[in-house]
Amino acid sequence: MSQLGSIVILGGGTAGWLAGALLSQHLGQSCCITLVESQELGTIGLGESTVPPFVGLIKSLGMDEREFVQATGATYKLGIEFLDWQHKQTRYFHPFGSLGARIYSQDFYQCWLKARAQGIAAPLQNFSPCQVMAREGRFWPPGMAQHTPIGGANYALHVDASRVAEVLKTYALARDLKHQQGQVHSVSRRDNGFIHSLKLDTGIEIEGDFFIDCTGFKSLLLDKTLGVEFEDWSAYLPCDRAVVLRGEAQSGVVPYTQARARDSGWSWRIPLQHRTGEGYVYASAFCSDNKACETLLAGIKQPLEAPRVLPFTTGHRREFWRGNCLGLGLAAGFIEPLEATAIHLIARGLDFFLRFLPEANCHPSLSRAYNQRMSADFREVRDFVQLHYVTSQRTDSAFWRHCQQLPLADSLQERIELFKAQGLVSEQGDDLFRASSWQAVFEGMGIQPRHYSPKVAHLQEAQLKEELQKTEAAILAMVKTLPKHEAFLRGDMG
């Protein structure tokens, strides 16, 4: 065996420093890890939304959650409020965690479907602990309330990406990661096509057994050096630009992200303790940059900076790992941030890299298995994001009429047909989006099953009504006792 003796990470930001933190934690004793950072690349550094596995990632690094929250200006996130997506003046909530609990050993959603057919069911979201907490502006970690009506909830964080990078940088440097400033002047390769070294504009040459490309959309190694092609998903997701800025902190910081459908895309609002992240994702075929800036600024009372326009192409590299080079973050691919999956896909990329950790010769079977797994993750996110567009019933703009004609991947078409038939969701063991997420979006967008499962046909109306009323009342009663979100952030647990 010839173990990896050195790994070179090119690029900082969230992707680079997360790679540095995780690899220094897992491999620091046996492998020299160097991060090369260029100020030219920089970090977007806006407020950024995450998904629940991010909290587990922080804990896996041995970090104290409350200290991390304060250091990054973070707030808690119970889900996403979608405004104007099905039609104008409509709203729904995509909560994390459970939707109800099993009734007489039967799936809650199927029981709820039958109750709705009998006219005795309250709205589905009343049975989500996260939605009720969000509606009431309250927060409590469900891990501290197990075996209670909110025990099935889950949560993520809203974070300041620049501050996250700094926290991860401090963590990695404390574990002997080497940090080198400089811009890549040239890349040398071995006879077998592997990358041999990076020569910086400072004259320093850095050799490595393995290289990780975290250079953002430039993809200096995976694309520019190795020529890995890009699989363009613009046909599925037509938005290709975002205008972004920082706004002043809001009073009454809410524990959820807001995503509002606009004439040519959608806008986000991400509340942090010290400011608010604002952005508008749009399709340039239907909206000019100037119009997008005007739309975003119209909803912001006190912007802290001028808006910045960021072009992007949705999709991913056909290979995430080729030879002795792995792409992470924007260097590997990008899916618009509607469901806040960017950091999750970086973490997944690192998780699978550690699972398939190669020797210095990087056997191709490892990279093949890795690429298949990461492609599946990207497709799952693509399908879930596209679901929001293709199920909209808006016809008030050319963009939304176009969305109704978007081609569907076979995987999404199957999901939609299965749900319409009987309210079922096909789940794999490590999918990011569980059944409750698909159910929340389908219901929120007005897509309803034709029938409930025959498995719940025997349940009596009186039984269902009693159980649903008890569940709904128990969740609300407990949530009313929880601290307000802002109080919890201050450490006021009462």
Whole-number pLDDT of residue 44 = 56
Residue found under tokens 């929880």: 482
- At residue 41 the predicted structure's pLDDT band, cuts being 50, 70 and 90, is low
Whole-number pLDDT of residue 43 = 56
Q: Tokens in use for 186? A: 């040239």
Whole-number pLDDT of residue 1 = 59
What is the mean pLDDT of the segment spanning 269-274?
Answer: 95
- At residue 492 the predicted structure's pLDDT band, cuts being 50, 70 and 90, is confident
Whole-number pLDDT of residue 42 = 54
3-state helix vs strand vs coil in the chain, percent to 5: 40, 20, 40
- At residue 242 the predicted structure's pLDDT band, cuts being 50, 70 and 90, is very high
- At residue 344 the predicted structure's pLDDT band, cuts being 50, 70 and 90, is very high
Q: How many CB atoms are located within 10 Å of the residue 258 CB?
A: 16
Q: Is the pLDDT of residue 299 over 90?
A: no
- At residue 352 the predicted structure's pLDDT band, cuts being 50, 70 and 90, is very high
Stated as kind and residue range, the H or E segment containing 349 is: helix 342-355
For the chain, percent of residues with pLDDT exceeding 90: 93
What is the mean pLDDT of the segment spanning 375-399?
Answer: 97
Express each pLDDT in 187-209 by its tens digit: 999 999 999 999 999 999 999 99
Q: Is the dihedral of CA 66, 68, 70, 74 positive or negative?
A: negative
Distance CA 432, CA 382 (A): 12
Whole-number pLDDT of residue 40 = 65
- Per-residue burial over 11-22, b = 16 or more CB atoms within 10 Å of its CB, e = otherwise: bbbbbbbbbbbb
Q: Confirm if 253 and 489 have CB atoms less than 8 A apart.
A: yes
Average pLDDT, the chain: 95
Whole-number pLDDT of residue 29 = 83
Express each pLDDT in 43-89 by its tens digit: 555 558 999 999 999 999 999 999 999 999 999 999 999 999 999 99
What is the mean pLDDT of the segment spanning 327-344?
Answer: 95
Q: Which amino acid would we find at residue 182?
A: G
